[in-house]
């Protein structure tokens, strides 16, 4: 792949990416969520058309109009979310889209042939699976195997595995890595997408690290985990936030022995203790998927707590609803603004009061005060420098940075005891980043406790007065922000001395 | 994505295009702007054309269905005049009757003017239209409210049925003076519908049961409950052997608006009030804000501290209440007694009405008036032109299809893409 560029609106998801995969190579693509890995692979699989750049297979350029072209060129893909029909058998799923028939294109379906093909492929590559099993009855790991078989029966020479381990148990993960090694030995190439260092190091021949849509470098699997972690979270942009030293006062948020499950009922947060005091910023660093999201959602009452206690200025908020938590003086910038932070059909003014519409002067128990909402919207638009034509404009017409400023304005325009900011500047332009960072610090200086969670190490280091490193659901260590980066990198990779 | 004046944007094309659009209309005068916007593919135009296209399709069906007219087409190439004349005669007379039955019959107005007929005759078509429109507006609002909260409630039929049962029972089992009896009976209708709306809402909130399934099933239960209850002792009219209940007391009947000979009643006033209420609620109430947020993005609503479950239960209860009121107005306003078909299909028609009104309260009222007019006019079309009333049902269904498939209308009439800027400019003058 040469010079691949893909834009979505004004977001550049892939910025002139070059990628070369040799035959019989496992090539790992490492990067945070949203770094552009999946976009790149969707381009390679023909699901997206690149704005610039070209794809070459065996040296000759290829125009991919859709996945059918990619399959014909010997490219197969296993998506993060399986593309299987749950009520069909394994054999039926494997032939789906290329059904072998007897007697012309509308002849009788030849299921026997399909079964034979499945058995043959599964034996050749060591992928045991029962061709007559119904897919929905199979464990996730086996379903994934079906996807791989499906690609192999289409004579794929290059397999794209998009975050294959995200849905697997540790045992299934080990099995998959074994399968990948076997495939490599029989001459197949694999592009392996992941943000988990351990797996990548275990199986890859070459690692390409992508960050914010750009290739930041390639590394051998022998590279130190800390080096890889650093590449992933980056240090290219130097963020500076001018701030006075913190003057921490009494503890505001205390979390003790917190246990929280993720959507798959695994323990994502496995006994976290932390304390944030008034007038300080506690930053949580770590590679994504180590329990940060679940921790924040538990604090906000959005996720059930399985064990432990959360208190706000001594008041137990462990089982409080989200509304009660917000009313208790907590501000929340959610990780994913388009899903959790904004209603895209609503106007800017409506989004500015999304969690405050019941408070004066925006409204009461029964009615909204549209005049009050509009007046305050105009005020906030100028105060927070939100670039809009009018507060009546739908929020979806705004750029990412301005959308994020709407959330920041909403959360910070009421007196806060605690501000919880998850990925406060993800997908935001540099100017807005600076603005938002200064606002966070201003909130700290006004006496609020601030908890910042970010996968951008720079951001955590720029904002935090203390940095807690999270790994596999635990806080591995709490260090000062001037700790050397290599030490932080080691901590983020789970190495603790 | 559009952010004029932002310096940090790349050389993306869309903002530039928009600027061109914004700048262009200023040079045109208002009439040109109006004409352009009129023929652009905006919501109003698509809706209007859907009605026109449905009437055209209805005309074709009429021609095919009428044996005599059809016969003239068999020698079309010999004497095309015959076929065209016969077809035109048939269709124009039918639609003229539709208009006369729905809005006004010029003859009657003329006769009234010359004192040859009472004014009631002249007002009769309007009265009929209003009478049919009232319950449709209420069931339409019911669907629209749920729809705005992201719920696809098919339950207005059952809710209206329960409302009619509760309203009728209160109408003949309780005796009270008129000023009290009517509100009590309506309230019972409201509560009956609310119960039937609460159930699917509660099931959805607590167990995730899909509202489409539960509301359809509750429709069956309500319908069969009605057919059972009308033949029970104390409910069934003792002088009748068929499935019909006692008549509701005079005191519980909705007051007529104009005259005892005209059927338009308090129902249309209720529909108007309900429309105003829903309009206010969606735009200006705290609950409406929650409702719209939950409908558009439940995740963000939850994150903002709203209770999605409580909102769903409340919305469904409210939607049920509106439909229940619709059922009650039918039994207390026109039918006066329960029969298994007392509410007709107002629940399902309400879905079409809400669709045509784009789930906006005043749009729903307008659509209900249109459907009421088609119903009233269809009656006259049937008796005067011999066109079956079912054709009205076909036309209503076709309108709904054209509205639901705007791309089809745009393709048939070849509308231009709407200039989003143009409408705003026009609105501001």
Q: For B30-72, what is each residue's pLDDT tens digit?
A: 666 666 665 655 778 888 888 899 999 999 999 998 888 888 8
Query: What is the reported pLDDT for B16?
Result: 36
Closest CB from A350, A370, A397 relative to B284: A370
Contact state of A339 with B301 under an 8 Å Cβ cutoff: no
pLDDT digits (tens, 9 = 90+) for A415-428: 999 999 999 988 77
Contact state of B305 with A327 under an 8 Å Cβ cutoff: yes
Query: What is the reported pLDDT for A279?
Result: 94
For range A113-136, the mean pLDDT:
85
- Sort out which chain B residues have CB atoms less than 8 A from A339's CB and list them: 297, 299-300
User: Could you count the other beta carbons within 10 Å of the beta carbon of residue B201?
Assistant: 30
Question: Which position has the token pair 């890859």?
Answer: A204
Query: How is residue A395 annotated by DSSP?
Result: G
**Chain A contacts in chain B segment 10-49 (CB below 8 A):** 10, 12, 14
Query: What is the reported pLDDT for B421?
Result: 39
Choose one of A177, A195, A223: the last residue of a domain. Answer: A223
Q: Are residues A74 and A127 in the same domain?
A: yes
CB of A400 less than 8 A from some CB of B: no
Q: Is the pLDDT of residue B8 over 60?
A: no
Q: Are A143 and A171 in contact (CB under 8 A)?
A: no
pLDDT digits (tens, 9 = 90+) for A355-413: 999 988 899 889 999 999 999 999 999 999 898 888 999 998 888 888 999 999 999 98
pLDDT digits (tens, 9 = 90+) for B309-322: 999 999 999 999 99
For range A444-467, the mean pLDDT:
90
Q: Are residues A460 and A431 in the same domain?
A: yes
The predicted complex's ipTM stands at: 0.80
**CA-closest candidate to residue B293, choices A395, A301, A419, A390:** A395
Q: Which of B121 and B201 is assigned the larger pLDDT?
A: B201
B287, B292, B299, B305: best to mutate for the A interface, most A CBs within 10 A: B305
* Percentage of chain A exceeding pLDDT 90: 36
- Sort out which chain A residues have CB atoms less than 8 A from B293's CB and list them: 343, 346, 354
Q: Is the pLDDT of residue B13 over 50?
A: no
Residue A225 Cα to chain centre, angstroms: 20
Query: What is the reported pLDDT for B261?
Result: 87
CB of A16 less than 8 A from some CB of B: no
Q: Is the pLDDT of residue A275 over 90?
A: yes
Contact state of A431 with B305 under an 8 Å Cβ cutoff: no
Q: What Å distances lie between residue A253 and A280, A467, A479, B307, CA to CA?
A: 11, 15, 18, 24
Contact state of A10 with B284 under an 8 Å Cβ cutoff: no
User: Which structure tokens are listed for A103?
Assistant: 């007697």
The domain that holds A312 is classified in CATH as 3.40.50.300
Contact state of B286 with A368 under an 8 Å Cβ cutoff: yes
Query: What is the reported pLDDT for B211?
Result: 94
A409/A352 Cα distance (integer angstroms): 7
Q: Are residues A296 and A422 in the same domain?
A: yes
Q: Are residues A31 and A177 in the same domain?
A: yes
Q: Are residues A408 and A428 in the same domain?
A: no
Query: What is the reported pLDDT for B419?
Result: 46
Whether residue A79 lies inside any domain: the answer is yes
Whether residue A228 lies inside any domain: the answer is no
Q: Where are the alpha helices (DSSP H) in A73-205?
A: 90-95, 111-124, 140-153, 170-185, 197-203
For range A452-471, the mean pLDDT:
89
- Sort out which chain A residues have CB atoms less than 8 A from B16's CB and list them: none
- Buried-state track A110-145, b at ≥16 Cβ within 10 A, e below 16: bbeebbebbbebbeebebebbbeeebeebeebbbbb
Three-class HEC string of B302-323: HHCCCCHHHHHHHHHHHHHHHH
Contact state of B286 with A366 under an 8 Å Cβ cutoff: yes
Residue A300 pLDDT level (bands cut at 50, 70, 90): very high
Residue B337 pLDDT level (bands cut at 50, 70, 90): very high
B233/A417 Cα distance (integer angstroms): 66
Query: What is the reported pLDDT for B5?
Result: 38
B296/chain A closest Cα distance in angstroms: 6
pLDDT digits (tens, 9 = 90+) for A328-363: 999 999 998 889 999 999 999 999 999 999 988 899
Structural domain range at position A119: 2-223
A400/chain B closest Cα distance in angstroms: 8
A6, A7, A8, A10: best to mutate for the B interface, most B CBs within 10 A: A10
Query: What is the reported pLDDT for A30?
Result: 84
Whether residue A53 lies inside any domain: the answer is yes
Q: Are residues A80 and A165 in the same domain?
A: yes
Whether residue A191 lies inside any domain: the answer is yes
User: Residue B168, class by beta-carbon neighbours within 10 Å (0-12 exposed, 13-18 middle, 19+ buried)?
Assistant: buried
**Chain A contacts in chain B segment 272-291 (CB below 8 A):** 283-289
With CA atoms as reference, the chain B residue closest to A12 would be: B10
Q: Is the pLDDT of residue B4 over 60?
A: no
Whether residue A259 lies inside any domain: the answer is yes
Ranking A175-179, A240-244, B241-245 by mean pLDDT, the lowest is A240-244
Whether residue A201 lies inside any domain: the answer is yes
CB of A339 less than 8 A from some CB of B: yes
B308/A112 Cα distance (integer angstroms): 50
Pairing status of strand A418-422 against strand A330-333: parallel
Whether residue A229 lies inside any domain: the answer is no
Residue A309 pLDDT level (bands cut at 50, 70, 90): very high
Where do the domains of chain B lie? 137-360
Contact state of B300 with A343 under an 8 Å Cβ cutoff: yes
pLDDT digits (tens, 9 = 90+) for B364-386: 999 999 999 999 999 999 888 88
Arithmetic mean of pLDDT over chain B? 86
Interface A:B, Cβ pairs < 8 A: 98
Closest CB from A323, A332, A367 relative to B284: A367
Residue B214 Cα to chain centre, angstroms: 23
Contact state of A323 with B307 under an 8 Å Cβ cutoff: yes
Question: Residue B317: CB partners within 8 Å, gap ≥ 6?
Answer: B194, B197, B198, B201
A478/A277 Cα distance (integer angstroms): 14
Q: Which of A167 and B58 is assigned the larger pLDDT?
A: B58
Question: Residue B86: CB partners within 8 Å, gap ≥ 6?
Answer: B68, B69, B72
Query: What is the reported pLDDT for A42?
Result: 85
Cα first-last separation, chain B: 26
Dihedral of alpha carbons A210, A211, A215, A220, sign:
negative
3-state class (DSSP) for residue B328: helix
For range A214-226, the mean pLDDT:
83
Q: Is the pLDDT of residue B359 over 60?
A: yes
Three-class HEC string of A49-107: CCCEEEEEECCEEECCCCHHHHHHCCEEEECCCCCCCCCCEHHHHHHCCCCCEECCCCC
Q: Are B300 and B307 in contact (CB under 8 A)?
A: no
Closest CB from B1, B288, B303 relative to A340: B303
Q: Is the pLDDT of residue B17 over 60?
A: no
Q: Are residues A293 and A371 in the same domain?
A: no
Question: Which position has the token pair 């069931």?
Answer: B139
Q: Are residues A66 and A143 in the same domain?
A: yes
Arithmetic mean of pLDDT over chain A? 86
- Sort out which chain B residues have CB atoms less than 8 A from A346's CB and list them: 292-293, 296
User: Residue A155, class by beta-carbon neighbours within 10 Å (0-12 exposed, 13-18 middle, 19+ buried)?
Assistant: exposed
A103/B176 Cα distance (integer angstroms): 80
Q: Are residues A258 and A389 in the same domain?
A: no
Contact state of A325 with B302 under an 8 Å Cβ cutoff: no
Q: Are residues A271 and A163 in the same domain?
A: no
Query: What is the reported pLDDT for B41?
Result: 57
Closest CB from B3, B12, B293 relative to A343: B293
pLDDT digits (tens, 9 = 90+) for A41-90: 888 888 888 888 888 888 888 888 888 888 888 888 888 778 888 888 88
Q: Are residues A170 and A282 in the same domain?
A: no
Query: What is the reported pLDDT for B386?
Result: 83
- Sort out which chain A residues have CB atoms less than 8 A from B289's CB and list them: 350, 357, 363, 368
pLDDT digits (tens, 9 = 90+) for B159-217: 999 999 999 999 999 999 988 999 999 999 999 999 999 999 999 999 999 999 999 99
Side-chain-facing half-sphere of A56: CA atoms under 13 Å? 12
Q: Are residues A302 and A361 in the same domain?
A: no
Contact state of B305 with A323 under an 8 Å Cβ cutoff: yes
For range A181-186, the mean pLDDT:
88
**CA-closest candidate to residue A38, choices A17, A64, A68, A61:** A17
Contact state of B286 with A340 under an 8 Å Cβ cutoff: no
Residue B389 pLDDT level (bands cut at 50, 70, 90): confident
Residue A284 pLDDT level (bands cut at 50, 70, 90): very high
With CA atoms as reference, the chain A residue closest to B292 would be: A346
Query: What is the reported pLDDT for A137?
Result: 83
**CA-closest candidate to residue B388, choices B119, B130, B94, B105:** B94
With CA atoms as reference, the chain B residue closest to A365 would be: B286
User: Which structure tokens are listed for A256?
Assistant: 């003790």
Question: Residue B185: CB partners within 8 Å, gap ≥ 6?
Answer: B167, B168, B170, B171, B174, B248, B252, B328, B332
CB of A350 less than 8 A from some CB of B: yes
Q: Is the pLDDT of residue B18 over 50?
A: no
């Amino acid at each position: 792949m040469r010079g691949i560029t893909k834009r979505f609106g004004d977001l550049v998801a892939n910025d002139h990416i070059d990628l070369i995969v040799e035959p019989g190579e496992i090539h790992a693509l490492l990067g945070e969520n949203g770094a552009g890995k999946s976009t790149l692979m969707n381009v390679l699989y023909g699901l997206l058309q690149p704005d610039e750049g070209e794809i070459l297979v065996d040296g000759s350029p290829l125009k991919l109009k859709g996945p059918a072209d990619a399959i014909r060129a010997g490219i197969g893909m296993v998506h993060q979310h399986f593309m299987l029909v749950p009520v069909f058998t394994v054999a039926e799923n494997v032939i789906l889209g290329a059904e072998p028939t007897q007697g012309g294109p509308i002849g009788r379906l030849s299921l026997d042939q399909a079964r034979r093909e499945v058995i043959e492929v599964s034996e050749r590559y060591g992928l045991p699976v029962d061709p007559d099993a119904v897919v929905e009855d199979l464990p996730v790991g086996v379903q994934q195997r079906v996807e791989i078989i499906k690609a192999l029966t289409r004579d794929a020479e290059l397999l794209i595995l998009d975050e294959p381990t995200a849905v697997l148990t540790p045992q299934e993960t080990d099995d998959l890595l074994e399968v990948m090694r076997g495939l490599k030995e029989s001459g197949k190439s694999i592009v392996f997408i992941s943000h988990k260092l351990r797996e990548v190091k275990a199986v890859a021949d070459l690692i390409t690290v992508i960050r914010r849509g750009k290739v930041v470098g390639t590394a051998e699997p022998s590279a130190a985990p800390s080096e890889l972690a650093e590449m992933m979270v980056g240090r290219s942009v130097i963020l500076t936030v001018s701030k006075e030293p913190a003057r921490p006062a009494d503890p505001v948020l205390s979390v003790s022995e917190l246990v929280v499950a993720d959507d798959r009922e695994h323990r994502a947060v496995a006994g976290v203790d932390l304390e944030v005091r008034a007038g300080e910023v506690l930053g949580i660093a770590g590679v994504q998927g180590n329990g940060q999201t679940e921790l924040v959602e538990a604090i906000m009452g959005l996720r059930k707590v399985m064990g432990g206690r959360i208190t706000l200025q001594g008041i137990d908020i462990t089982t409080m609803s989200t509304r009660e938590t917000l009313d208790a003086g907590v501000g929340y910038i959610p990780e994913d603004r388009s899903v959790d932070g904004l209603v895209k059909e609503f106007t800017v003014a409506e989004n500015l009061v999304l969690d405050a519409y019941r408070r004066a002067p925006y409204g009461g128990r029964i009615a909204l005060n549209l005049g009050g909402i509009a007046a305050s919207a105009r005020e906030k638009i100028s105060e927070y420098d939100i670039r809009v034509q009018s507060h009546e404009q739908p929020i979806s017409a705004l750029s990412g940075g301005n959308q994020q400023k709407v959330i920041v304005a909403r959360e910070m325009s009421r007196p806060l005891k605690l501000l919880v900011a998850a990925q406060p500047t993800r997908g935001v332009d540099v100017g807005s980043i600076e603005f938002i960072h200064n606002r966070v610090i201003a909130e700290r200086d006004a006496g609020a406790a601030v908890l910042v969670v970010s996968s951008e190490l720079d951001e955590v280091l720029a904002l935090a007065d203390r940095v807690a490193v999270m790994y596999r659901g635990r806080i591995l260590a709490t260090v000062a922000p001037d700790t050397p980066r290599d030490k932080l990198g080691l901590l983020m990779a789970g190495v603790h001395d | 994505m559009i952010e004029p004046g932002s310096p940090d944007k790349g050389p993306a094309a869309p903002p530039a295009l928009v600027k061109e659009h914004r700048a262009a209309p200023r040079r045109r005068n208002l009439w040109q702007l109006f004409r352009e916007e009129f023929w652009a593919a905006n919501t109003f135009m698509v809706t209007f054309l859907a009605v026109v296209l449905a009437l055209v399709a209805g005309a074709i069906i009429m021609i095919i269905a009428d044996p005599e007219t059809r016969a003239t087409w068999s020698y079309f190439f010999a004497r095309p005049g015959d076929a065209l004349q016969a077809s035109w005669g048939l269709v124009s007379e039918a639609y003229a009757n539709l208009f006369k039955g729905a809005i006004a019959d010029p003859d009657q107005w003329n006769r009234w003017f010359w004192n040859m007929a009472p004014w009631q005759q002249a007002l009769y078509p309007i009265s009929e239209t209003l009478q049919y429109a009232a319950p449709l507006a209420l069931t339409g609002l019911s669907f629209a409210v749920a729809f705005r909260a992201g719920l696809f409630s098919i339950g207005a039929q059952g809710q209206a049925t329960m409302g009619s049962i509760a309203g009728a029972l209160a109408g003949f089992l309780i005796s009270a003076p008129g000023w009290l009896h009517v509100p009590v009976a309506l309230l019972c209708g409201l509560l009956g519908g609310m119960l039937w709306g609460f159930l699917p809402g509660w099931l959805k909130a607590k167990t995730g049961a899909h509202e489409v399934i539960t509301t359809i099933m509750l429709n069956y239960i309500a319908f069969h409950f009605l057919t059972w209850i009308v033949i029970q002792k104390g409910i069934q009219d003792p002088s009748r052997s068929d499935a019909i209940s006692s008549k509701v007391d005079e005191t519980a009947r909705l007051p007529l608006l104009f005259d005892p000979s005209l059927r338009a009643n308090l129902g249309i006033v209720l529909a108007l009030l309900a429309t105003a209420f829903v309009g206010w609620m969606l735009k200006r109430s705290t609950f409406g804000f929650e409702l719209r947020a939950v409908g558009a993005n439940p995740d963000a609503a939850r994150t903002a501290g709203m209770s999605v479950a409580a909102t769903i239960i409340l919305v469904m209860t409210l939607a049920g209440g509106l439909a229940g009121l619709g059922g009650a107005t039918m039994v207390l306003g026109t039918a006066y007694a329960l029969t298994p078909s007392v509410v007709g299909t107002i629940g399902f028609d309400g879905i079409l009405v809400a669709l045509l009104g784009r789930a906006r309260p005043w749009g729903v009222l307008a659509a209900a008036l249109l459907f009421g007019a088609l119903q009233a006019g269809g009656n006259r079309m049937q008796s005067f032109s011999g066109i079956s009333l079912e054709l009205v049902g076909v036309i209503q269904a076709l309108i709904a299809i054209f509205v639901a498939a705007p791309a089809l209308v745009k393709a048939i009439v070849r509308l231009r893409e709407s200039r989003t800027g143009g409408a705003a400019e026009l609105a501001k003058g």
